Amino acid sequence: MEAAPSPAPATAPIIAFDKVVAGYTPSLTILNATTLDARAGEITLLIGPNGAGKSTVLKTLFGILTPTSGEVRFEGACVNGVPPRELLARGIAFVPQGRNLFGSLSVRHNLELGGFTLPRRELPSRIDEVLARFPRIRERLDNQASTMSGGEQKQLEVGRALLLRPRVLLIDEPSIGLSPKLVQDVMTLLRALADAGTTVLMVEQNVRTALKYADRALVLEMGRLALDRPAATLLDDPDLNRLFLGGHARPAA
């Protein structure tokens, strides 16, 4: 099955997967010669049924998984197997799925750990920068992170990732466990980041909401790119529901 034709690129790809094969064990590959890209300053939404390889794309890009073949490129340079610590230094940050805070530490200390790779003297100004964006976190700064609500925790996770001023933000299922209002807040925040120049690569099951905020949607199916469309046009696409129910995209015309 061939992927649908891509729209004409508005900006150059900052991230590219070229026939990448990767998985959690050598015998079980999740990405099967996956080829896709994400453009600078856009929100690229990765969607697809369970097991399609969405989270695996993020983990492979962030160096948690190493491709067995193919090439992952960031700004044109191959980053296969480059460890997370080095990718953070190059400008990629990752907010994984689920709860990622250190519950017994304070909100302030959780934030500080987001800048673990930064020189110590830069930390205070970076933390102020993040707190200016998230006033609610400032109010809870000395509380234990585990006492925060789900929405506050997600804000803190995103804020912690932003501490390094990443040029690319990878975020996996940010809406999980959040109320519809908080989902809107998180999506609005991601939109604002993208508008300010940060590239966002997002995996999200709450597709209809996410499509409203994304620039572009990539639909994965069985570890391959099945559709590549502007997000706005995909909302009414009949293929969308079928893909989520495990069906197949129609071959490209």
Partner 1 sequence: MAEFLQLVVSGIATGAIYAVAALGFTLMWQAAGVINFAQGEFVMLPAFGMLMCIGVGMPLWLAFLVTCVAAALVLGYAFKRGIADPLIHHGVIPLVIATLGVSIAAKSFVRSGYSAMAQQFPSPFPEGVFHVAGVTVSFADAGTLVIAGAIVLSLQAFLNRTVTGRAMQAVAQNTESARVLGIDVSRMVLYVFVINALLACVAALLITPIYLAKFDMGETIGTKAFFAAIIGGFNQTRGALLGGVLIGVMENVVGYYLSPAYKEGVALVLFLLVILFRPEGILGRREERKV
Q: Which residues bind partner 1 (CB under 8 A)?
A: 62, 64, 84-85, 88-89, 94-96, 100-105, 109, 112-114, 116-117, 120, 160
Closest CA to 200 of 12, 47, 14, 20: 14
DSSP string spanning 54-92? HHHHHHHHTTSS--SEEEEEETTEE-TT--HHHHHHHTE
- Which one, 101 or 178, has the nearer CB to partner 1? 101
CA–CA dist 128, 131 (Å, integer): 5
Shortest spacing between CB 212 and partner 1, in angstroms: 28
Shortest spacing between CB 243 and partner 1, in angstroms: 29
- Which one, 64 or 78, has the nearer CB to partner 1? 64
- Which one, 148 or 227, has the nearer CB to partner 1? 148
Shortest spacing between CB 4 and partner 1, in angstroms: 33
Whether the CA torsion 191, 107, 92, 221 is positive or negative: it is negative
Shortest spacing between CB 112 and partner 1, in angstroms: 7
- Which one, 9 or 83, has the nearer CB to partner 1? 83
The b-or-e profile of 96-120 (16+ CB within 10 A means b, else e) is beeebbeeeebbbebbbebbeebee
Shortest spacing between CB 91 and partner 1, in angstroms: 12
**2 phi/psi in degrees, rounded to 5:** -95, 150
Burial bucket for residue 227 (CB in 10 Å: 0-12, 13-18, 19+): buried
- According to DSSP, the residues that pair with 17 across neighbouring strands are 36, 72
Closest CA to 204 of 99, 57, 97: 97
- Which one, 94 or 134, has the nearer CB to partner 1? 94
CA–CA dist 158, 95 (Å, integer): 7
Shortest spacing between CB 217 and partner 1, in angstroms: 25
- Which one, 36 or 88, has the nearer CB to partner 1? 88
Shortest spacing between CB 127 and partner 1, in angstroms: 13
Other CB atoms within 10 Å distance of the CB of residue 3: 18
- Which one, 112 or 221, has the nearer CB to partner 1? 112
